Each structure stands twice: as structure tokens, then as C-alpha cells.
A and B are shown apart, each in its own frame.
Chain A
């Protein structure tokens, strides 16, 4: 082959040399980039009884009990599939979810796994990459089923949840999704094997409004920014109703493209409505941190409420100057008000991955609730577990005691509901406020 009369040189030696030099160059890059950023290196202080609304999580939840000494057989392996986006736009946060799930695997197996019908099971969590796409999510669900996972945790984002459900529901796989944005195809009567183990989208709104009313009496006008993921037309009427019922006016809401090169146009439009406070409903820290920075750079000084996103990541992106008066339903990792189990998870994360992250707790909680349901059902049949789970009178969560809800909002009693953690960013620092009660969905 030639270009302009030049012969192509393609000797094997050059190709081999090229491969070697590429590897060397990548190695050098790895040396430069590989240093871990340790978010928090100190162990969380011990909790105080006055601040932990829930009983300590270590108060003998079923999954933590030691296996009976009379276990007749060798432990077997119970495979749980983890559908997470390890690559693509959502990977920065979802890799942390996966690490949280690995922490759970280590934690539960150290305690002897679970016991079902007299048989001890050690948990093996297998991850498949959803690639931050719908097709990747359905493929991941299929591969997990092929790997023998009748129970799955994940995914998170609506279109990935919907795509995954088209595979898991017909296959009779019980699935615990980590989030919900109220689209009927994500979760509802038509998805009888889908559960949610965390507080989600609209659960956060009323506690936020109550807090706003109590602490910012002059705030009356609100504007919302939310990702263009197909869900806003469904949940925004509910949000508007809650806002109006609480005495606020919703000026407008704007949907942003998650892959936008710059969020400034969306934030600028939102600020043009002249709100007293803003709500960033749903989305990842990379979006929220950026929008928070832009809002502050554009002179907005009012309070901003996120959903549940990692406040540390938001502060990392927004920078210390912009990271103030921002509220999110997440934890402060070194707060003494954290439950003992949260502290244990963070300490395990430090040991296993050299860092701590609030997202570990999120990933852990889904697996934690799932194995409690399996033990409660004393069955490995997903349909039996589903029936037993929705009738559980109570369930332990990493945040404290939970109850099953969902009938009112979704027509299916598959939500684990618990008092939601609430923190704020103030002058670049995360400050835990409290666990706030959530109305049963």
C-alpha cells in the first residue's frame, strides 16, 4: 500500500517494538495516575445513642447470625449478580457501588454467610458491565442469568433498569434495583420480582420541603433541574403537588442532557426564572457538582437541594468556594451519628480499597436487604422470596430499621423505606444534619 509513492513499512520487528513501547508508555502513565486519592483515612468515631435514630444495625439482624453449629453439610455458594456500569458515563459512581457490593460479600462471608433450610451458603457476587447503556444492561442481565444468578442487584438509571427488567422478569429472577425515577416500566405491578432497597426520587422531596420551610422562611419560589432520562414527565407532577401543598411555587423545571458538553445553558435558564431555591432532582455527582459550581459562579446564593448524591464527590467537582448551602440525602463519613454498620462498611472499604465512600453504603444496603429476605423466606426460589419479602413486618437497613412500603405510590409493596440521612455542604465541608423521617411510599 502506498500514499504518494511511499511504501508502507510494516515489518514484524516494528510492530513488536511498537507494542513494547506502547506498554512502556502506558506503564509510565500508570505510575503517574495510579496514586489513590484517599477521601478519609481516619476510622469513624463511635456512635452516640442520642444521635442514632435507629437501633444499632448490629443488633442481630438475621443475616449476621453465626451459622448453627449443627450445619450438616459443607457451605454451598449462592451467586448474586451485580448489574453495574463499570464503563461509560455512569461508571465513576457505579464502580463505587460495585466496590460496596464486594465489601458486602466479604462482610457476610466473614460472618458465615447465610443459612437457608439448614444449609449454609457463602455469597458470591458476580458483576457484569451495563456499559451505561440500555443494550449493555439487558446483555449484563442475560449473562448473569447464564452464570446462575437467580438474584440480582442493580442497575440504577431508569433506562438501564427498564432494559434489565425485560430480561430478569420473564426469566423469574428477583432483582433489587438501586434507584427508581417513577417510570412504570422501572418498577410497579408489572414487575413483580423487582424490589427497591433504598429511598428514591420523591421520598426526598417532602423532607426537603419541610426543612426548607423551617430553616429558610423567606424561600417561596422553586426551580428544578433534572436529567433528561424519560422520568421527569412522570414524577414532576408529583413533585409539583408536594411543593404547592407545602406552600411553595414551582416556577419551572428544566431537563438537561447528561452527555452535554457544558451544563451552563441549563443552569442559566433555571436562574433566569429567579428562584429563591433550586432542586437538582436525580443525576450523578459529576452533573450536580458542575451545576452547583455554575450556579454559584452565576451569583446564585440560595439553598440547593440534591437527591441522595455523594456530597464529597460533589464538593470535589464544585470546589470549596461553591460548595455551600447544598443539601443531599447522604451521610457524613466521619460523623459520630452514623450507625455502627455504616462505620463498619467504611472501615472495610478502607481495608479493601484504600479509601472510603458514601456510595459503598448504598451498594452494600441492596445486598444486605436481599439476603435478609432470602433468610426470612428460607428459600432460594425467587418467587417464594419475593412473596416473603413483601410481607416482612420489618427489615434492617444500614441506615437503621426499615419497613416495606410502595403500595400507595407504586401499587406494589416492594420498597424498603427508612429514615433518610440528610447532610449539607457548608464552606466545602460535609456536615451531617440528621436522619429524617420519610412518608411510607
Chain B
């Protein structure tokens, strides 16, 4: 195994990790603040890719403008979902699960009917590549990594430093306690839903450029988001960083030694082994 192959894989791991984290962070936010297991999160990621594509290819917008509008649009959809989907059923896990599964079926079917037979990929944000000491790096992968990193820093800074972010943390720790302190819970859950869906949309747009668009692309991503959140520990927003990094490393390096779908099997096995030693996840707290 050559050094350049390992270095190349390390670059891949960073890019994949950043996109996993972007995707899983929104999922973790909703889970920790609202207690909502939003299975529809991945389908929002998929729709984000398609909306971004339409804005770039059909409407002729600049890639970055399209990505920003996509994030805003899907963020607004998050507000809608929170107000009319989640809020009426807070605390009722069964109903919320059914609701999110329904959203998956509706959105997947809709996109499949509308564009299912059209193979599409978002035009590159920056085409071309360059080489450093035998390692090729595509410009679009740098773009994806930097965009994801900037967004993650912004979101974490917002959560850690802003008053609203602190209120989000308080809400995630104790819903009732936060209310008694005068925090407007519904404002917080709405902001969390907006951020979560916007992040998923950005991940969808970036991944749709690196890979391709598929009405069912969210299915695979949902599994990975759940893996990251489980690794991180339920309720740990910061742990998502480490969870995403571990999963990205597994997906980038395991194919060097394993064939085909054995990669997924071994990846899941590694997560199970970690769970044996840390059932609450790497950064979760014991119940």
C-alpha cells in the first residue's frame, strides 16, 4: 500500500466526514432539542440537491446563489414542518415517526415521478484538480470541505456563543426547566428546525455536485446520519464532529482492503464494537 494511496484516502476521509457531519448535525439538533427522530431529514437532503440543480441549470443562477436559496427554501420548509408537523405532536414519538415516514414517501415519490428517469448531477462548483506530492485533489472536493467546515464553525459558534444558541442548549438539556426560565420554547424549536433543514439542503447540494442526484439518495444518507448520531451519543451535538469523522474515515479507508458491500458490513461492525464499550455513545451520558 503506497503512501500516496493512503494520503489520497485521508483527503477523501476529510471530505466525506465534513458532509456526514453537516448532514448529521441537523438530525442531532432536532433529536436533542425536540426529541424528534426526523427520518425525513435525509429526504430533505435529497430534495435540496434537486432544488439546487433546478436553480442552477433551469434558472441559470450562480452555484453559490443557488445553494444559498436552496438552504433558505428548505430552511423555511423546516419551519413549516416544525409548526404543522412536529409541534402538535411533541412528546408523541409514534406519531412523529409516522409523520416523518409519510413525508419521506410523499417527497420521494414526488421527485421520482417528476424527475426519476432523468440522470442528473449538479454542475461542478469549481472544476479541475491539482496534485501535491502524488496526491490528486479535485477543486470541487476542496470547495465541499471548506463550505461544510465554514458552516459547521458558524453553527457551533452560534450555539455556543449566542443567547439563542445557549437557549437551544438549555432546551436540549431540560425542556420544562427552560420554559420555567422564560425561554420561548417554540421559537427555539423553530430555529432548530430551520437550521437542521438548511444544513441538510446544503449537504444535498454539495453531494449532488460531487456524486449525482437520485430520488432515493437520501436512504443511504439517513443510515449514515443515524450511525453518526449513535456514535456521538444521543443528545450530544458536539459529539457529531467525532462521530462523522470516524464514519468518514471508515468509508474512505475500508475499501482499500475490502471489496464492495463488505465495507458497509465491517463499518457497522466497528460501530457495534464501540457501542459495546460505550453504550451511550462516545459523548452521550448514561441514562
Contact = CB atoms under 8 A, between A and B. Distances in A.
Interface of A: 1-6, 8-11, 14-15, 17-18, 21-22, 25-26, 29-30, 32-37, 86-89, 91-93, 95-96, 99, 132, 227-228, 254-262, 264-266, 268-269, 272, 285-286, 289-290, 294, 297-299, 310, 313, 316-317, 319, 321, 357
Interface stretch (B50-58, B145-153, B157-165, B231-239): B50-58
Contacts of A316: 119-121
B16 A262 contact: yes
Contacts of B176: 4-5
Q: Most chain-B Cβ atoms within 10 A of its Cβ — which of A86, A227, A294, A321?
A: A294
Contact of B210 (A21, A22, A262): A262
A169 B106 CA distance: 36
Contacts of A259: 220, 261, 264
B215 interface: yes
A265 B252 contact: yes
Contact of A262 (B92, B103, B251, B261): B251
Contact of A6 (B47, B91, B118): B91
B154 interface: no
A4 B8 CA distance: 49
Given A4-B175, A316-B120, A255 B90 contact: no
Contacts of A266: 255
Contact of B119 (A10, A34, A285): A285
B226 interface: no
Nearest to B77: A25
Nearest to A253: B259
Contact of A26 (B106, B117, B221): B106
Given A95-B117, A264-B12, A286-B214, A257 B260 contact: yes
A33 B49 CA distance: 11
A8 B129 CA distance: 53
B5 interface: yes
A-B pairs with lowest CB-CB distance, top 7 = A228-B260, A3-B91, A4-B175, A265-B255, A95-B117, A313-B119, A4-B176
Interface of B: 2, 4-5, 8-9, 12, 15-16, 35, 47, 50-51, 54, 57-58, 77, 80, 84-85, 87-92, 95, 103, 106-108, 110-112, 114-121, 123-124, 127-129, 131, 136, 138, 174-176, 179, 185, 210-212, 214-216, 220-221, 224, 251-256, 259-264
A303 B138 CA distance: 20
A319 B124 CA distance: 8
A11 B179 CA distance: 23
A254 B251 CA distance: 16
Given A261-B220, A269-B255, A317-B119, A5 B179 contact: yes
